Every structure is written in C-alpha cells, then in structure tokens.
Chains A and B, each alone.
Chain A
Amino acid sequence: MPAPHPTVFSSFVRLGALLTVTAFLGIFVGCRLEKRGLWLPEVPTEIGAWTAVDVPLEERTVATLGYPKTLGRQYVNPFDEKVDAHVIAAASFDAYHEPGMCMAGYGFSLTAETFPQVFGAGNKARAMVLKHDETGIRVLMLYWVQYEDGSTTGRGNLRAYGDLMPRLTTGFKAAASGKQSVIVRIYTFVNPNDPNIEQARRNIYGVARGLHKGIEEDGKQWRGRAAEQRQQEGRS
C-alpha cells in the first residue's frame, strides 16, 4: 500500500485536527442552543392593586417570534388603567423580534428610547415611546431580557444581518453559560391628559417590578422543577 509522504500526511493531520475541533464546537454549541426556550416562568396574577387576565398573543405574532412558549396578560387597576404584558421564552433569535418594528406594522413610529435601570443597579430595561402616525396616540413600552438569576438587559433588536455583534454575544452567552432567559415586553397607552408620561411611567414601572420579582423567584426554583419533571418523564 503506497503510504503518503510523511510531509503530505502531516498536512492532512493538521487539517483534520482543525476541522475536528470546529465540528465538536458545532455539536457543543448546537446542544446548548437547543436547550434554550425551555423555561417559561409563572408570573403573578396580582401585583399590588393590579389584577391580571390572560390575553394570549395573536397567532400571527407567535409565528413572527418563531413559535416559542408565550404568555400574554393584561393587568388592570381599580381606575381601569391597563398594562399589557408579554412573556416570551427565548427559544430562538426570532423571539427577540424588535417590538418597535412590530408596532410599525400597526402605524406606530418610535419617538423616544432610553435604557433606565428599572430593577436596580445594572439591571436595565429598554423604554420606548411609540406614537401613532395618524391619531397621535402614544404607547409607552418596556422591553427586557431576564435571566434565571434575575439579572436583566435592555437589549435592542436582534435583526439577523443588522446587529451581528449583539447576536453573536447572545449566542455566546447562551452557549457558554447555558442560562435560560425570557423576553418580557409590557406596554400601556398614554392618556392624552398625561403629556409628560408620568402616570403611564408609574403604572408600567410598578407592573414591571412585580413581574421581574415573580420571574426571579420562579427562576430560582426552575432548575429543581425541571429536573423533577425530567425524572418523572424518565420513569413513565
């Protein structure tokens, strides 16, 4: 059997080693990423004076988000003020769909954006004011990604080709830490008698903090609950 020259063979070995390492990294990242989106936390139905009713997300919206697990709630206070909340399992990059872009489809434009530390030092959310082009109606929206340990980020959108670095960072964190995360977006319509958006901000911050606390508590228990569930499935 004519064996290749040792120099030639070493080129094959070098290349084979490089490709093997890449393939193993691919398998590792694939396994870690496929476990995303398993966690959809239970959120409180009562937050102070606010009481929630289930309002599931529209089928079209769920499709845009890549069919993750979702939870839709509407919180109402005794003055009949309303705050809508969507909790979305971060199953894929589609789930991070830009809420401002979603609203653009309904005729809203983004007029202001900031990243306040709603949940304490370092834990940011993304706050947006959207204005309807024809009627002038305004919407105040908070958007954040929350991890199992309660930490949050007010990350912007993750369009496939416009935001490569945030996308890479998100993928790297998901693969390296394996931490589950959920995407929360809550919004309320701003009353025309509230020009500085003070009342709307009070309302939305109150509900947001209640949701954040509920999700954080659920996150602490989730690992144990998921392990038990797996054991039960294994037995059955």
Chain B
Amino acid sequence: MGTVTTPAATAKKAPQPPWEAAWDATRKTLASLPRLARVFWEEERHWLLVLIPLLAVLIYPRVSPWPPEWQGPLAWFVGIWTLPDSALSFQPLVPIGAFALAWADREATVNMYRTMADLYPPTSKRRRGPIWLAVIGCVLMIAAYLMMLSPLAMIGFLLIAAGSLLHLYGWAVFQTLLRPLLFLFAMVPIPFSLLDAVTQRLQLGCAVAAGQVLKLLYPSTRVSGNMILMDGYSAMVSGPCSGMGILMPVLVLTLWLGLFRKMKWGVIAVLLTAGFAISLLMNTLRIVVMGLVGVHNANWAQQLHDTNSWVFTALAFYLTFLIAGKIGPRKSRLLDEEL
C-alpha cells in the first residue's frame, strides 16, 4: 500500500538527518560535475597554463627502464607517509583542513575580490601581486631536486602555490587566504634526524612515567632504558607507542582549531602546550594499560602496542578541544560577526 503525502504533511516533515543531507549534497555536486567541467573549459581554461606545470613540478615519470615509474617530490612524500608507524601519516589530510579554513572565510575572500574589481580596472597593478614569492619557491624546488630533500621540496611547492595566488590576485585577496596557506605548512615533513631524536626521548620518558605508575600496582616493576620489566611480562616501548603517532596529529588538529576559531596566537600557543601534555599523558596511559593487560595476556598487550593510535589520538584531541572551549572563542569569530 502506497504512502499518501499531503502538502500539510510535507510541510511538517521532520528535518533530514545530517547524513542524508550530506549524501544529497554529494549527489548534487557529482551530478553538476559535467556542467562545472564545461564551464571551466569555456571560461577558465587559461588556468591549465598554471595547473599542468604545477603538477609536473611535483611528479614526473621515470624515463627508463620500461615500464616507467612515477618519481619526483610527490613520490618522496608518499614514501614518508606510508612508512610503517609513520608519525606523519596524517599529513595527506592537511589540505582538507586548509580547504575548510578557506571555505569558512570564503565570503571575505569573494567580497575582497569584488571590491578590488569594482575599484580598479584589470590593468591596475593593485589587482596583481609580485611574482618573487613564486620565483623563490621555484629556486627552492630546484635545490630540493638536486639535494633530494623532501622538506625543502614541500616548502618550495607551498611557496610556489602561495606565490601563484599572490601574483594572480594581488595582496588584498592574498591576505584573506593567509590562514589556510599557513596551515598548509603542517604538511612539511619533519627531518628524520629530528624525528628520531624526539621519538627516542619520548620513548624513554613515557617508559619511565608508565613504569612509575605500574610500580604503584606491581612494586617489583623495573624500567631499564625503554624496557618495562614486570613479573612475568616485559614490554618494550618502541616505534608504534613512542607517542609521536599521537602527538603530531593532536598538535596539527589543535593548530587547525585555533586558526578556525581565529584565536590569538598566545591562546594558540597555550592550547598547543596543553595538547602536547595531554598527548604524552595519553601515551603513558596506553603503556600502563599495556602493562596491566600484559601481566595477564602478553598477546593482547602486544596487539595494544602495535594497534594504530587513532583512538588515543581522538581522545587526546577531544580533551584539548574541551580546554579550547574554556580558554578561547567557542565559534569562528567570522561566524559570530555574521550572526
């Protein structure tokens, strides 16, 4: 039997659940892709002059032997992100965060663009910016090719992208995009030597802290280097549970939150410090739980050791998020101003 829908019933219909709204928006966007592609080709295809070489700066095929393989800076970055237990595996998600920041400020950007277009003709120098930022990015990129240094390549690429926007839109519009552009620098790979040094210190520190807690429950617990020795169980605090896998994403998420809510830099610094401390506490808690489980079942403890740290990362960020609600503005200032 079919359902009868009257205009009155439709008007009183319950609001769509969020997932349905998101699905509808995705479906509409996908449906409009061919139209958008046609509009882009008809009106904006001069962008290909910049986008194609920008892609070629990042990735190019190896000429020989056959079959060719992709190489270049993007291949270096992917290599870093996909390393087992990589503390930087979250970095491919950073552009999504930058896009969200840009989207939150879209009206300011659009308004500034329109204002500039109303005030100055296309030939005005105020509508364009200098090219030197893109040139510096290109020089750094060439140095990165020669030295095969991925951090330098990422900095070079981001400067090229920022320099392109500056050159094409001018200072006024560029300044409205500063926050997402700054956030993109969270994608710069941390040098291995620095990462290793910090990881080692965190391993030792977390092992000592967790050892002290476990000693309260099991007095015979000893800590030797990054080994926690208990009766019938010994745990090595290494790679996956060094804490870097929690610390790095929490710091970047906290930075994003601070930028999204347009907090002052001092407040962001306090939040980052809080995020740092909470991440280390979470990692210590993880090791303590590992020790407590390991006394009864070593296999489960090993699984806990090797388990991806996303659960603890989420928990650590949630606690930082609660602190952010207490010490910083609760919503984007822009949103408040609009309201």
Contacts and interface: CB of A to CB of B under 8 A. Distances in A.
Q: Indicate, yes or no, whether A interacts with B.
A: yes
Contact of B54 (A19, A29, A92, A160): A19
A33 B134 CA distance: 25
B142 A22 contact: yes
A8 B122 contact: yes
A11 B168 contact: yes
Interface in A15-34: 15-16, 18-23, 25-27, 29-31, 33-34
Interface stretch (A164-172, A177-185, A201-209): A164-172
A183 B43 CA distance: 56
A227 interface: no
Nearest to B125: A7
Interface in B49-76: 49-50, 53-54, 56-57, 60, 62-63, 71-72
A21 B168 CA distance: 19
B231 interface: no
6 closest pairs, A vs B, by CB? Answer: A171-B146, A19-B53, A16-B49, A23-B56, A5-B122, A29-B145
Interface size range on B against A = 35 or more
A161 B193 contact: yes
Given A5-B123, A18-B134, A161-B193, A12 B47 contact: yes
B151 to A, nearest CB: 8
Contacts of A172: 146
A235 B164 CA distance: 48
A159 interface: yes
A9 B54 CA distance: 17
A26 B60 contact: yes
Given A12-B47, A15-B167, A22 B53 contact: yes
A120 interface: no
Interface in B152-199: 160, 164, 167-168, 191-194
Interface centre among A16, A18, A19, A29 (most CB of B within 10 A): A19
Interface in A97-112: none
Interface centre among A18, A34, A92, A172 (most CB of B within 10 A): A18
Contacts of B168: 8, 11-12, 15
Given A11-B128, A11-B167, A30-B72, A160 B193 contact: yes
Contacts, number: 109
28 contacts: A1-B42, A4-B46, A7-B122, A7-B128, A11-B128, A12-B46, A12-B50, A13-B49, A15-B50, A15-B168, A16-B50, A18-B134, A19-B50, A19-B56, A19-B138, A19-B164, A20-B53, A22-B141, A22-B142, A26-B142, A26-B145, A31-B63, A34-B71, A92-B148, A161-B193, A167-B147, A168-B146, A175-B146
Say what secondary structure dominates the interface of chain B.
helix
B57 A23 contact: yes
A92 B146 CA distance: 11
Contacts of B112: none
A26 B50 contact: no
B119 interface: no
Nearest to A20: B53
Contact of A19 (B143, B160, B191): B160
B131 interface: yes
Given A5-B123, A171-B147, A172-B146, A18 B138 contact: yes
Given A7-B122, A23-B57, A29-B146, A160 B192 contact: yes
A60 interface: no
Contact of B191 (A5, A26, A161): A161
Contacts of B138: 18-19, 21-22
Contacts of B71: 30, 34
Contacts of B147: 93, 164, 167-168, 171
Contact of A18 (B46, B60, B131): B131
A145 to B, nearest CB: 16
